[in-house]
Every structure is written in structure tokens, then in C-alpha cells.
């Protein structure tokens, strides 16, 4: 029909795991489209190169960031029936030396090279798009020597078991994320690097439907954050502007029992200077000044160790080789990026 989409129906693959979704489109052709396929690039390449492949991977620029967040509160102490209460402080991350050392022990290059490949670019920034909001001030590195030196200077000495101790507190952390092969491999990279530094990390993996649930009765959700560190992806929405995205570390957005853990600040980080920058950006009409405010916010959360950015993830989809379907879906992507171009000039 004129002026209508090419396809009468499109079958979308949902549920299960990302690998099976990609396989159902690319290899077997059972489905037409799989969205957000967070799959190791090595596997995606293998599927694409299968004889008589029924589909392929489509990668377009994105604004999502896979990152680690640290818990600013104590997940192991209960206050008024609530763990990770904003009334507590984390017993280990309260020391900036620990946060700084942890940042130095995250090997982003290995995460990109051995896991994400085309589907994730190593970054030290929380905001990675649009271009005018990207900070040029931040620096990141992977350094065993500097991390060890930082902890030594702060008084964290290795005990008989090799784990660092300071004032009777051991550097033992629980690191959680959802069940997903790239994430489990990223966890393993971080754990291996930290063990060499005298930081003991216990890995915890939670079913995605539970981890990202809004169920107030579930103890394993990311918003409840009953762990020391956690990892997931979040990103700038549409229109492509970081204001909504950066609410996730705003003090008024702290997830807590009183709001049924439905607000976005799972880290429970509270910083008045950050709040002031955010509220100033809300009312700033000058695009250059506004961008500078968001860059300052990015730098603040990164340098303080509230978040540890890993890779900027483009939008990765599995799409059928059916030409008209591909044209329709590509049109959707082009519409989005044309909107971003328009917004940049507005």
C-alpha cells in the first residue's frame, strides 16, 4: 500500500538470552529482528559467517554506557528495616583511596578487545553523546603499580591471606550484575585484576528479569543494590539530551524504602555541588553554557568514583536479510539519528 511500511508483520524475538535471540534471526531465520543483542562480538561474527546465514548484525551509533557503580551506603547493615540505607556510609568506599584504586584496576581495553569488539568502545566518560556534551577533561588508565601505591599510602596493608586490611576492615567486595555472558566475562576481568592488588571480590549474577525488576519485595534488584558494586547499561534517551540520563545520580532521586526503590539513584550518592549544577542546567537556555554544565557533572561523578565507565555501546541489532524489512528498520534508525542532528542544531 502507498505510504505504508513495507512489511505487513514483523516477528520480534524476546525473552530467553541474547545469544539465542541473535541466533534465531541470523542463523536459523526463525525471527526477523532482535533488539539490543548484547553478545560477544566473536559470536556475532561467527553467526554472520555461517553458511546460508539468514540475517546479519546492524550496528548504528548509540548513547548507552556499560558501567560499574559503587554503593555509597552500607549494604550489609540494616537501618529501619532497610539495607543500603541513605542513613549509612559504605565502610570501604568511604575511603577515596579505595575508589581511586578500583578505577585503576578496571582494564577497559581488554573488555573491549576480548568481549565487545565492534559493539563497545572503551571510555572514561559517563556521557558519550551527543558530541558537544563529551568531556575532554577526564583521563583513564589501567595501572597495577599506581593502584598498589595508592592503597599502600592510605594504610591498606596485605594480611597473611593476601587481602588488604586497614583498621580491622578487609577489602572484600561483592560485585553483582545480570546473567549475561559479556557481563560475566567483564566481572572475571575485574576480579582477576583486583586479586593481584589484594582486593577480594565475590561475583554475584542475577537473572535479568529479577535484577531489573521494580518488585519492591525482591531483594536482588539493581535499585535495592544489596552489594558493594554493580554493573549494567544505561543511556541517553530521546530526544538525545543528557538531562534525564544524569538524574540517576541526583540526590532527590535516591532509591529508598520510602519510595519503594523506584527512583533512579541506586548509588545513594549525595552531593550538593552536583545538585546545583544539575538544577542550573535545567534552566540554562544558552546551549554552550548548558553543555559546559553537563561536562562538569560528568567530570564530578567520574573523578569521585561514583561510576566507573567501561564501554560506550552502539545500538546492536540482529536483522533478517529480507531486503524490504531491512529498509524499514534502517529507516527507523535513520529517523532517530536525523532527529539527533536536528536537535544538535536547535
Q: Given this model, what pLDDT does residue 266 score?
A: 97
Q: Given this model, what pLDDT does residue 344 score?
A: 37
Residue 291 has pLDDT above 70, yes or no: yes
CA distance 30 to 230: 34
Confidence of residue 51 (pLDDT cuts 50, 70, 90): confident
CB-side exposure of 129: number of CA atoms within 13 Å?
23
Fold of 62-313: Dipeptide-binding Protein; domain 3 (3.10.105)
Mean pLDDT of all residues in 36-65: 91
- CB-CB neighbours of 268 under 10 Å: 25
Q: What angle do CA 27, 33, 38 make, to 5 degrees?
A: 80
Q: Given this model, what pLDDT does residue 345 score?
A: 38
Residue 341 has pLDDT above 50, yes or no: no
Q: Given this model, what pLDDT does residue 329 score?
A: 56
Confidence of residue 240 (pLDDT cuts 50, 70, 90): confident
Residue 295 has pLDDT above 70, yes or no: yes
Q: Given this model, what pLDDT does residue 1 score?
A: 59
Place of cell 562480538: 41
Higher pLDDT: 210 or 235? It is: 210
Per residue in 11-32, pLDDT tens?
Answer: 666 667 889 999 999 999 988 8
Q: Given this model, what pLDDT does residue 9 score?
A: 73
Per residue in 246-274, pLDDT tens?
Answer: 999 999 999 999 999 999 999 999 999 99
- Give Cα separations from 90 to 44, 71, 152, 200 (angstroms): 40, 7, 20, 16
CA distance 92 to 173: 9
Q: Given this model, what pLDDT does residue 11 score?
A: 67
Q: Given this model, what pLDDT does residue 346 score?
A: 36
Answering whether pTM is above 0.85, one says yes
Q: Which of 17-26, 165-174, 318-327 has the lowest mean pLDDT?
A: 318-327
Q: Over the chain, what is the mean pLDDT?
A: 90
Residue 340 has pLDDT above 90, yes or no: no
Q: Given this model, what pLDDT does residue 107 score?
A: 95
Q: Which of 4-8, 35-39, 61-65, 264-268 has the lowest mean pLDDT?
A: 4-8
Domain ranges within the chain, ordered by starting residue: 18-61+316-345, 62-313
Q: Given this model, what pLDDT does residue 246 score?
A: 95
Q: Given this model, what pLDDT does residue 338 score?
A: 47
Amino acid at each position: 500500500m502507498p505510504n505504508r511500511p513495507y512489511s505487513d508483520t514483523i516477528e520480534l524475538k524476546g525473552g530467553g538470552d541474547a545469544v539465542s535471540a541473535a541466533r534465531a534471526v541470523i542463523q536459523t531465520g526463525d525471527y526477523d529482528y532482535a533488539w539490543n543483542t548484547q553478545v560477544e562480538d566473536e559470536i556475532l561474527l561467527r553467526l554472520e559467517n555461517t553458511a546460508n546465514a539468514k540475517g546479519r548484525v546492524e550496528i548504528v551509533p548509540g548513547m548507552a554506557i556499560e558501567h560499574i557503580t559503587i554503593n555509597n551506603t552500607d549494604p550489609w547493615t540494616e537501618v529501619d528495616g532497610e539495607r543500603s540505607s541513605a542513613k549509612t556510609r559504605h565502610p570501604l568506599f568511604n575511603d577515596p583511596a579505595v575508589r581511586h584504586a578500583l578505577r585503576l584496576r578496571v582494564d577497559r581495553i581488554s573488555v573491549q578487545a576480548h568481549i565487545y569488539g565492534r559493539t563497545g568502545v572503551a571510555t572514561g566518560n559517563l556521557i558519550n553523546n551527543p558530541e558537544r556534551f563529551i568531556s575532554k577533561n577526564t583521563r583513564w588508565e589501567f595501572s597495577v603499580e599506581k593502584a598498589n601505591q595508592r592503597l599502600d599510602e592510605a594504610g591498606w596493608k596485605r594480611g597473611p591471606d593476601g587481602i588488604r586490611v586497614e583498621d580491622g576492615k578487609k577489602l572484600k567486595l561483592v560485585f553483582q550484575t545480570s546473567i549475561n555472558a559479556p557481563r560475566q566475562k567483564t566481572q572475571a576481568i575485574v576480579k582477576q585484576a583486583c586479586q593481584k592488588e589484594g582486593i577480594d571480590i565475590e561475583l554475584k549474577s542475577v537473572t535479568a528479569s529479577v535484577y531489573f525488576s521494580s518488585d519492591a519485595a525482591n531483594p536482588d534488584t539493581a535499585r535495592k543494590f544489596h552489594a558493594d558494586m554493580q554493573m549494567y547499561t544505561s543511556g541517553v534517551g530521546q530526544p538525545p539530551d543528557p538531562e534525564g540520563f544524569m538524574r540517576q545520580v541526583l540526590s532527590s532521586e535516591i532509591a529508598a524504602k520510602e519510595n519503594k526503590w523506584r527512583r533512579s539513584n541506586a548509588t545513594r550518592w549525595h552531593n550538593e555541588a552536583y545538585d546545583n549544577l544539575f538544577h542550573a542546567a535545567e534552566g540554562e537556555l544558552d546551549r554552550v553554557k548548558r553543555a559546559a554544565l553537563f561536562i562538569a557533572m560528568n567530570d564530578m561523578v567520574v573523578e569521585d568514583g561514583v561510576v566507573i565507565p567501561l564501554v560506550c555501546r552502539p545500538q546492536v541489532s540482529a536483522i533478517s536479510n529480507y531486503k524490504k524489512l531491512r529498509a524499514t528498520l534502517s529507516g527507523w534508525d535513520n529517523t532517530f539519528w536525523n532527529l539527533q542532528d536536528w536537535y544538535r542544531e536547535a
